[in-house]
Amino acid sequence: MIPQAKIKQEIESTSFCVAGLSFLLIAFYLFADKFSLSVVLGTVIGSAASIGNFILNIYTAKYSAKYDQKKAAHIVLLSKIIRSFLMGIIVYFILMVPMVHNITGIIALFFPQISRGIIYIIKS
């Protein structure tokens, strides 16, 4: 069983790292003189969706640890399918709404994975 304090620390560190990457992405567009409200909206929507996906993943792992290995595997698989479907809906929303910048929204969806790599390198 994963302690609640460890889960909270994982979520906080990843969220702060995602926020930092979001500011870097916005700063890039600001310095490239391509900054607009759509860049901010794309970054915010992508970052929020990716953090939500990350939190759901962590709590699914915690929840599945209560069960035997076979049932836990089914829970994790079902969660992965549902979360993939939800992320597909978010990508569709980002691509179809003209007010949201496509590139920043989709790049921000990868920030938790990049953050996990950065945190792993820092902790090593």
Residue 3 DSSP code:
-
Return the pLDDT at 1: 60
Domain containing 101 equals 4-123
Instruction: Please give the tally of structural domains in the chain.
Output: 1
Structure tokens at 70: 């076979």
Does the pLDDT at position 12 exceed 90?
A: yes
Does the pLDDT at position 2 exceed 80?
A: no
Neighbouring C-alpha atoms within 13 Å toward the C-beta of 100? 21
pTM of the model: 0.88
Q: What is the mean pLDDT of residues 53-64?
A: 92
Return the pLDDT at 83: 95
Return the pLDDT at 81: 97
Question: What is the number of other CB atoms lying within 10 angstroms of the CB of residue 115?
Answer: 22
Q: Is the dihedral of CA 35, 40, 41, 46 positive or negative?
A: positive
Does the pLDDT at position 124 exceed 80?
A: no
